[in-house]
Structure 1
Amino acid sequence: MSSAAITILAFLLFTFLYILFNLVSHTITHKKPPGPPTLPIIGNLHILGKLPHRTLQSLSKKYGPIMSLQLGQVPAIIISSSKAAESFLKTHDIVFASRPKIQGSELMSYGSKGLAFSAYGGYWRSIRKLCTMELLSASKVEMFGPIRKEELCVLVKSLEKAGLVGEVVNVSEALGNLIEDIVYKMILGRSKCEQFELKRLVKKGMTLIGSFNLADYVPWLGAFDLQVCMY
């Protein structure tokens, strides 16, 4: 039997087991806020459309300021009023402090061990303290002062030179390059090089983290890597 046939059979088996599990679990009542009806496997993903924020705003008019959605296998509570948001983000903020685990952060952040993606708790407080002491303390900021001054002087001279010849300068791009040069010297102790393009890597990482990934909502599909297969 070919690998493609085995993959299809495994997918159908998982689908059948998932539907069976849903049928059994629905016999147990769960107290949830009101929300639209769901479909097997994908839940409410099909109703979000290309403009999810408008869809959610429209649904909130029908189901109220606190409603529930099923994004694949991930249950979600949607808040659309300032009073309810204050309860979630201020009164009970610690309960909702952790970010949801996604496949991108698991792969790119050593199992979500980075400061941005680790769960709130003792480990997160430890790495935040380490980051503050080693990178953001007054002594560390002062230590990197000469680097910032040197790179800023280079930028000012380049702007002055461009002004003398009447050259148009993209200030946003110039400031971006300034920050990139400072980061290179702070982290690597040298100017940027072609072998290691920090800005390109950061942009690519942000794009990958922010892209829709089916496995984040239906985790058991991650083993099949369907989106890579489609491309």
Structure 2
Amino acid sequence: MTASAIAIILIFLTFLWSLIQRPRHRKLPPGPWALPVIGNLHMLGNLPHRSLRDLAKKYGPIMSMRLGTKTTIVVSSPEAAELFLKTHDTIFASRPKVQSSDYLSYGTKGMGFSEYGPYWRHIRKLCTLQLLCQSKIEAFAPLRREEVGLLVESLRKAAAEGQVVDLSEKVGELIEGITYRMVLGSKNDDTFDVKGIIEEIMLLTGAVNIGDYLPFLSPFVFRYVVDCRNAHSPSIYLSANQ
């Protein structure tokens, strides 16, 4: 059997599966007609926010779309957003499960990716009472004061020598230094790039992964999975043990 024949069979089976999984007895908001397999993915274009704006003008502030195999509700007005995010916020509190969360959030166990429920409420309570309480914030005040003092001293030295200073970079280094000392209890010795890892994780979680919309392609998204695994490398544990 040739590769093209296998591809055709896979597409046909996916089309049948999408027909079976299509919601039949649920009343969905109006929306554009979806193609088999890919749904409305082709309508997003290079500027999805503008494409969604144009579609909202035609179908209204609350519309339904099918992104691959995922039925999606798109909200495009402040009034509708308030209904979803404030009035009925607990119903829509969970984040969709994406492939990156399995690698970057311990199988969606992190607070930012886990489903809303008893587990999420428990870890949120731990963060509120044990990590972000007033006593903990005050306990780290000397540490923050020391790091800010080092920043001011470096700026004073650079000004005396007439050097050009990238203030954004300096502030980033300040945040990195404070974070490293608060989490690991010691200064960063340049063996563990906190800022770089955070930037890479943000890039991966914000990137479009076709496997999230077409699950049958997930096993073939090798480059994306490798990048996620590299961002979640054991270097953080090695640094913590130091």
**Above 0.5 in TM-score?**
yes
Identify which range, 80-89 or 111-120, moves more after superposition: 80-89
Q: Residue 137 of structure 2: which of 119, 137, 141 is its match?
A: 141
Deviation, 1:29, is 5.2
Q: Does 2:25 align with 1:32?
A: no
SS in 1 for 2:180: helix
* 2:195 match: 199
Identify which range, 189-198 or 121-130, moves more after superposition: 189-198
* 1:190 match: 186
Q: Residue 39 of structure 2: which of 40, 43, 48 is its match?
A: 43
Matching of residues 152-167 of structure 1 within 5 Å = 152-167=148-163
* 2:117 match: 121
Q: Cα–Cα, structure 1 residues 227 and 177, in superposed 2: closer, same or farther, change >3 Å?
A: closer
Q: Residue 101 of structure 2: which of 81, 105, 109 is its match?
A: 105
Q: Cα–Cα, structure 1 residues 132 and 81, in superposed 2: closer, same or farther, change >3 Å?
A: same
Identify which range, 127-136 or 108-117, moves more after superposition: 127-136
Q: Residue 21 of structure 1: which of 17, 21, 30 is its match?
A: 17
Gaps spanning 5+ residues in structure 1: where? Answer: none
Q: Is the 8 A contact 1:214 1:227 kept in 2?
A: no
Q: Cα–Cα, structure 1 residues 18 and 145, in superposed 2: closer, same or farther, change >3 Å?
A: same
* 1:80 match: 76
Q: Is the 8 A contact 1:34 1:63 kept in 2?
A: yes
Q: Which amino acid aligns with 1:142?
A: E
RMSD: 2.4
Q: Cα–Cα, structure 1 residues 26 and 187, in superposed 2: closer, same or farther, change >3 Å?
A: closer
Identify which range, 206-215 or 138-147, moves more after superposition: 138-147
Identify which range, 209-218 or 155-164, moves more after superposition: 155-164
The count of aligned residue pairs is: 225
Q: Is the 8 A contact 1:18 1:41 kept in 2?
A: yes
Q: Which amino acid aligns with 2:116?
A: Y
SS in 2 for 1:69: strand
SS in 1 for 2:95: coil
Identity fraction in percent: 51
Deviation, 1:136, is 0.9
* 1:56 match: 52
**Could you list the per-position Cα deviations for residues 73-112 of structure 1 after superposition, in whole angstroms to 9, with x for gaps in the alignment?**
1111112222222221221111001111110011110111
Identify which range, 19-28 or 69-78, moves more after superposition: 19-28
